[in-house]
Amino acid sequence: MDAQSLTYIFVGASFALYIGIAVWSRAGSTAEFYVAGGHVHPIANGMATAADWMSAASFISMAGIIAFAGYDASVYLMGWTGGYVLLALLLAPYLRKFGQFTVPDFIGERYYSKTARVVAVICLIVVSFTYIAGQMRGVGVVFSRFLEMPIEWGVVTGMGVVFFYAVLGGMKGITYTQVAQYCVLIFAYLVPAIFISMMITGNPIPQLGLGSHVTGETVSVLEKLDGALLDLGFSAFTAGTKSTIDVFAITLALMVGTAGLPHVIVRFFTVPKVSDARLSAGYALVFIAILYTTAPAVGAFARLNFIENVHEQSYAEAPQWVKSWEGIGLIAWLDKNGDGVIQYAPGAPFDGRAEFTGETGPNGERLVANAPTDNANEISVDRDIMVLANPEIAGLPGWVIALVAAGGVAAALSTAAGLLLVISTAISHDLLKKTFRPQITEKTELMAARGAAAAAILVAGYLGINPPGFVAQVVALAFGLAAASLFPAILMGIFFKHINREGAVAGMLAGLVFTLSYIVYFKSPWFGAVNDADHWLFGISPEGIGAVGMALNFVTAVAISRFTAPTPASVRVMVDAIRVPESG
């Protein structure tokens, strides 16, 4: 059976499994819709958290960033895993003891203010929609290649599946669906990694294969990759090019952003006890580490295989995967010197993004309208395809290719569902029930939550079709926004009794507005800003500016609190109670 047929079977079977779980575990109350009734076992919650966390950015895009950025991409590994240490130590048990449904719930009660709750909802929605854009883009990339449909229709299909199990099952359905999705995505990630590690080094453990010698040669994988890149004019894979301050800022923003992500935090409201919240964070970190320690090997193997399969290869004799990905616009080749051979070198091969004319050239390639630039590079590769194309690049069996497709869809859908749930919960519970219409019944609130989820899916689909960057880059920006807005308000709410509502509101707004403005200025096409280190504030990139926004949030909150009314005594008592340890 060919890879295409296997892909339909694998993806279809996984969809049937997710929908079946959603029907079995559908929510019948707001408690089940928001926090799965608070009865999820820590191991199951750890797996669900890992799936919720390991999004399209982790599964699809992170290894692609590592493949092309090398050592510089270590900021993602350090930041995205280190955040769970902060969660386990500083936030998870205290928020679980607080015992409410949402992050805005905590902020609204702790800062005794509907205004604080509304501002928290605004921060949550901005963060979540920025994050979800990357997930829906990931769904579209997988579907467009493996199910041979346009990216737009791939996004629409993913929207339909997520709509069904997120709207029907709520947190209860999403939790058990994410347990299944974790099993699918981790198996799909490890199997090709093990295959490729065996093929290149003879070592079946990818983490060890990365440092092993290439089979039949006297050099290691990293030495061979460094040599190949230097010969082509690139920087060595193991060489860092980012400034120290930018590395520090990005890592900090990703760590703190992880601890401030509402769709991750809400998972710790679903366990029975406070101690289970810490256990869940520990289990989640273990489950996540399995993929994250494998990603560097996958990235290095993919870049090495790409160079050996593509550079100085006649286009007419190029592997079929090159033409397959070219067919959906995620690989583009421009024959600058007219020799019919693919040249891979530093520099952008086109002026801007590849714009296909709809016609074919003399070698059968899709013609690109952009005028060639003054460098020798002729091929453009979307970073998001490297994990998905890796089995094809390595010539693995069709069932492995189909498995990776199913895993990529599982990764994107699991996080998209979690994000949609926190958006719908914030609207129905925090805005409607707790702010504007407190008299509504539980049934009406549940209907509003499902309606909000449906509306959020439509917005998410639009962002997936028109994303502001490649998957992991978009996700990194969401972390910066979470770091600058929600994390300081939560942390100070737990540990600093003197922070009052005026300080919290001012801090959240200052951090969010500053960080969002900086990102829009350098990342959007509207301002034409030059996005390089010479123009960044303190040399910090948009991906790391959330660290500065976080500092601004803290300073603003403390300063405003000193010159406004003190925190009420009842709130101080509540904060003390949250911090008192519980047995069991």
Q: What is the pLDDT of residues 297-346, one digit of tens each?
A: 999 998 998 888 888 888 888 888 888 888 777 788 888 888 888 988 88
Residue 498 vs residue 353, higher pLDDT: 498
Is 231 part of any domain? no
Q: How far apart are alpha carbons 464 and 160 in whole angstroms?
A: 13
What is the percentage of the chain residues whose pLDDT exceeds 90? 17
What pLDDT, on a 0 to 100 scale, did the predictor assign at position 70? 87
Is 232 part of any domain? no
Name the residue type at position 417: A
What pLDDT, on a 0 to 100 scale, did the predictor assign at position 324? 81
Q: How far apart are alpha carbons 415 and 131 in whole angstroms?
A: 9
What pLDDT, on a 0 to 100 scale, did the predictor assign at position 467? 63
Residues in contact with 554: Cβ distance below 8 Å, sequence separation at least 6, in sequence order: 488, 492, 507
What pLDDT, on a 0 to 100 scale, did the predictor assign at position 213? 93
Is 77 part of any domain? yes
Is 502 part of any domain? yes
What pLDDT, on a 0 to 100 scale, did the predictor assign at position 471? 45
Cite the DSSP H helix spans in 147-265.
Answer: 151-201, 206-209, 221-232, 244-260, 262-265
Is 86 part of any domain? yes
The DSSP H or E segment spanning 489 is helix 471-495
The yes-or-no verdict on residue 584 having pLDDT over 60 is no
Total domains present in the chain: 1
Is 562 part of any domain? yes
* Mean pLDDT value across residues 533-538: 84
Is 317 part of any domain? no
Q: In the chain, how long is the greatest CA-to-CA distance?
A: 79
* Mean pLDDT value across residues 570-575: 89
CA neighbor of 206 nearest in space, from 220, 195, 217: 195
DSSP letter (8 states) at residue 371: P
pTM score, two decimals?
0.80
What pLDDT, on a 0 to 100 scale, did the predictor assign at position 10? 83
Q: Where does residue 320 rank: exposed (0-12), middle (13-18), buried (19+ CB within 10 A)?
A: exposed
Q: How far apart are alpha carbons 225 and 68 in whole angstroms?
A: 11
What is the percentage of the chain residues whose pLDDT exceeds 70? 89
Q: How many CB atoms are closer than 10 A to CB 233?
A: 13
What pLDDT, on a 0 to 100 scale, did the predictor assign at position 404? 83
Give me the domain span that covers residue 14. 3-219+240-283+397-579
196-244 residue pLDDT tens: 999 999 999 999 999 899 998 889 999 999 999 999 888 999 988 888 8
Most confident among 263-272, 366-375, 503-512 (mean pLDDT)? 503-512
User: What integer best gives the mean pLDDT of the chain?
Assistant: 81
Cite the DSSP H helix spans in 36-113.
Answer: 42-53, 56, 62-69, 74-86, 92-98, 103-110
Most confident among 77-81, 155-159, 285-289 (mean pLDDT)? 285-289
313-325 residue pLDDT tens: 888 888 888 888 8
Q: Is 360 helix (H, G, I), strand (E, B) or coil?
A: strand
- What tokens were used for 193? 């990694």
What pLDDT, on a 0 to 100 scale, did the predictor assign at position 472? 47
422-480 residue pLDDT tens: 788 778 877 777 777 777 787 787 788 778 877 888 887 787 777 655 444 566 677 88
Torsion of CA 37, 39, 44, 48, to 10 degrees: 20
What pLDDT, on a 0 to 100 scale, did the predictor assign at position 101? 64
CA neighbor of 449 nearest in space, from 25, 28, 23: 28
Residue 181 vs residue 199, higher pLDDT: 199
Residue 282 vs residue 509, higher pLDDT: 509
Distance (Å) of CA 492 to CA 153, 425, 500, 526: 44, 23, 10, 36
- What tokens were used for 184? 């699918």
CATH of the domain at 569: 1.20.1730.10
- What tokens were used for 151? 């990216």
Is 291 part of any domain? no
